[in-house]
Amino acid sequence: MIVAVTGGKGGVGKSTVSLNLGRELDAVVVDADLATADLPRGNGPDLHDVLAGRANPLAAVERIGPVRFLPCGRTLAGARAADLTELTRVVDRLERECGRVVVDCPAGLARDVGIQLESAHVAVLVTTPTEPALVDALRVREVALDLDTPIASVVLNRASSGENESLAARVERELGATTAVIEERPAVDEAMAQWRPVRDVHPDCAAIEAFETVARAIERCERRLSGRIGVL
């Protein structure tokens, strides 16, 4: 199963969700933001090298604690040399060799986001309780559905206490998928400052339940799509 974590607007928490889903699903997380990578730098070859044909994708996989990840490069030259059309082949190879793959997509609706969505079996939309973020999430949803990539779940991130139920219900109606709410909590920020999943830093944090909800939604999609995935 290949999962694209997207949302359109920058700064909504896509990398936070990607890292934690990597933990919950025992997946390889691919930092696919070729221009402004968010996950940590690696110690060897990176996605730029892989997409340029200079490295084997399996050789570029590293670990952030318990999470396997494929880091992205930081140089403009590396981004220019990368052949984005190779991404589908790369994530397919990772899925065959490593199991589940989570693709941390860049912000916006540029061509690379379309390629990343098309390479995935399902998408997870990440948004915040602001009108611009919700509008962008709706736009990405339309792109995903146009590419026949179903929405497995929505994450409403950085919600204020007390607005959860009404907002979650609205988002679920508008985006048409199970919505998990993550309240604004220092524990989540502290875990990300260490590049570690919340479960491994603050095991009692309520955000873990939200990540579990999204992971279970992905697993349900995986079961429903199992026949289709087998022939892709």
Question: What integer pLDDT is reported at residue 232 of this predicted model?
Answer: 46
Query: 187: exposed, middle or buried (C-beta count within 10 Å: 0-12, 13-18, 19+)?
Result: middle
Confidence band, pLDDT 50/70/90 cuts, at residue 167: confident
* Mean of the per-residue pLDDT values of the chain: 91
Alpha carbon distance 5, 89 (integer Å): 18
230 pLDDT above the threshold of 70:
no
Single out the residue of 84, 154, 152 nearest to residue 119, CA to CA: 84
CA 227 to chain centre: 23
Question: What integer pLDDT is reported at residue 231 of this predicted model?
Answer: 44
Single out the residue of 185, 181, 189, 187 nearest to residue 129, CA to CA: 181
Report the share of the chain in percent with pLDDT over 90: 69
212 pLDDT above the threshold of 50:
yes
Give 91-142 pLDDT, tens digit per residue. 999 999 999 999 999 887 666 778 999 999 999 999 998 889 999 999 999 9
Report the share of the chain in percent with pLDDT over 70: 95
Question: Is the CB of residue 19 less than 8 Å from the CB of residue 67?
Answer: yes
pTM of the model: 0.93
Side-chain-facing half-sphere of 73: CA atoms under 13 Å: 19
* CATH class as words, domain 2-225: alpha beta
